[in-house]
Amino acid sequence: MSVPPQDEIGSVVRAGFWKSVASLVIKVATAGLTYLMFVVLSRTMGPVPYGQFAFGFALATVVAIGASVGQQTAILRFWPEEEVAGRPERAANAVRSGWALVLIASGVLSALLVLVALAMGLLGGGLWSVAHLFATVLLILPMAAAEYGSSVLRAQGSVWTALLPRDVIWRVLVPGAVWLLYLLHVEVSGAGALVLTALLLAVAMALQFLAAGWRHYENGVSFSGLRTYWAARGEASRWFLVGTVVDSAALNVDIVLVGLLVAEASAGIYFNAFRTAGLMTLFMFAITLVVAPMVAKHYHAGEMRQAQAVTTFNAWAGFLFSLAVFAGFMLFGDLILSLFGDHYAGGQLILIILSVGLLADAATGPTRIVMMMTGHERDYVRIFGSIMLVGMAIQVVVIPAYGLIGAAIVNAASRFVAQCAIAWWTNRHVGIETSLFGIFKLLPERAPRVQAPGE
């Protein structure tokens, strides 16, 4: 395989850079609006109602990832893979069948959660005591649709249409509606906040469907080709599903565990600290949204050096941004958390501990997406999933004894070990160095010195 010249590598990086800038603009707006959303909710609701909202929001996020059946990751690989192979009809069928799977799984999981809520209400303090669980059910389909719909459009090269409805419009509507209710002296419960969030997300997703049709993106739903699609892509989809559930669990399960094992009000404190720590990975996440289909395209075309260039750019840009945000947390973490209210200002130590784990995440680069896009989703689940699941099991023991601090320490340690393990594996078995050290693979190779006559 010939080595492409450096100017070609530069063009690959520049192509990803400008789309990444657009993605970053949206994600920065998203971060600010997300903060506004949670700040408005926490300041207009009491600690217990807000804790119920945080619990339900985290639970809905995990269940919605399951309802996506791994299709939000699958389409990022299958669309460019089929397009490179010259099979546009199979690419279109992947989109339509993916939507069919999301709708079916969302219905099944929503029904199961309703049964769980009924059982808890009848065996506990009555159905009203678990009203926030019933409200959580309404979030599952909109969240699953938002995950998959965004990936469908990103796979086709869209940035604004893919991200604007959920990341900006929805996050403007929610705090605006909550603040209006507050001014009207309408008290919002945990269940009420979840219902409002679900309805406004559904509105945002409807706008995305309209915009995608107007821009002529493939975004239809069909059950006719589902059997063929699942026969060809079912095994990979199952591993994508397990991988995305593990990812979501790593970001949300400890919030649920804190709410179950400590107190609902404590879930709000941990929720705010984790969401704040997540700002560190904002740039990396924004870039990954763009480079995922690029990695798949270059890898499956045999262009390993271009794939390495895209990955290394992602790693360095994401890490430098994360490092700057981490420094800000060290200096002003308590001030940042106080935006949620005085009740939440004491979570700075939790914020710092969680941030250490996410800093390791940034330093090891986009390992997850590289493994997923190159056909190694099973190995990702096996390595990353097993380490994080062990960490979650430890948290069940640690949280009752050490509370929020214990949950944060176990989370950070598990993430550090897991990220280092998959980065090492990817370099060894895929041939792409996802960490900061990937830059050394892009240095021009020195030509062998030719011995002069007479030497």
- Measured distance CA(138)–CA(133) in Å, rounded: 9
Burial pattern 256-269, b for ≥16 Cβ within 10 A else e, equals bbbbebbebbbbbb
In sequence order, what DSSP letters do the residues of 259-297 get, joined into one string? Answer: HHHT-HHHHHHHHHHHHHHGGGGHHHHHHHHHHHHHHHH
pLDDT of 447 reads 42
Q: Given the structure tokens 């995950």, which residue do they identify?
A: 147
- Measured distance CA(341)–CA(49) in Å, rounded: 14
In sequence order, what DSSP letters do the residues of 55-114 get, joined into one string? Answer: HHHHHHHHHHHHHTTTHHHHHHHHHHHHHHTT-HHHHHHHHHHHHHHHHHHHHHHHHHHH
pLDDT of 203 reads 95
CA nearest 348: which of 338, 359, 333, 336? Answer: 333
pLDDT of 431 reads 93
CA angle 170, 50, 116 (to 5 degrees): 90
Burial pattern 20-31, b for ≥16 Cβ within 10 A else e, equals beebbebbebbb
Which one-letter amino acid corresponds to residue 119? A
- Measured distance CA(293)–CA(290) in Å, rounded: 7
CA nearest 50: which of 343, 261, 303? Answer: 343
Q: Given the structure tokens 């397009």, which residue do they identify?
A: 83
- Measured distance CA(368)–CA(379) in Å, rounded: 10
- Here the tokens at position 88 are 């546009």
Global pTM reads 0.67
pLDDT of 3 reads 47
Q: Are 284 and 317 in contact, with CB atoms under 8 Å apart?
A: yes
> What is the chain's Cα-based Rg?
22
- Here the tokens at position 215 are 């821009």
Q: pLDDT by residue for the chain (455 residues), tens digit each?
A: 444 555 555 554 455 455 556 666 776 677 677 777 888 888 888 788 888 898 899 889 889 988 998 898 889 889 988 888 889 999 999 999 999 999 999 999 999 999 999 998 888 777 777 888 999 999 999 999 999 999 999 889 887 888 889 888 998 898 889 889 888 888 889 899 999 999 999 999 999 999 999 999 999 999 999 999 999 988 888 888 888 778 777 777 887 788 778 776 677 788 888 888 988 887 777 777 677 778 888 888 888 988 899 899 889 988 998 999 999 999 998 888 888 877 777 788 999 999 999 998 899 998 988 998 888 989 999 999 899 999 999 999 999 999 899 999 999 999 999 999 999 999 999 999 999 999 998 877 544 444 544 55
pLDDT of 2 reads 46
pLDDT of 450 reads 45
- Measured distance CA(354)–CA(322) in Å, rounded: 13
Which one-letter amino acid corresponds to residue 80? P
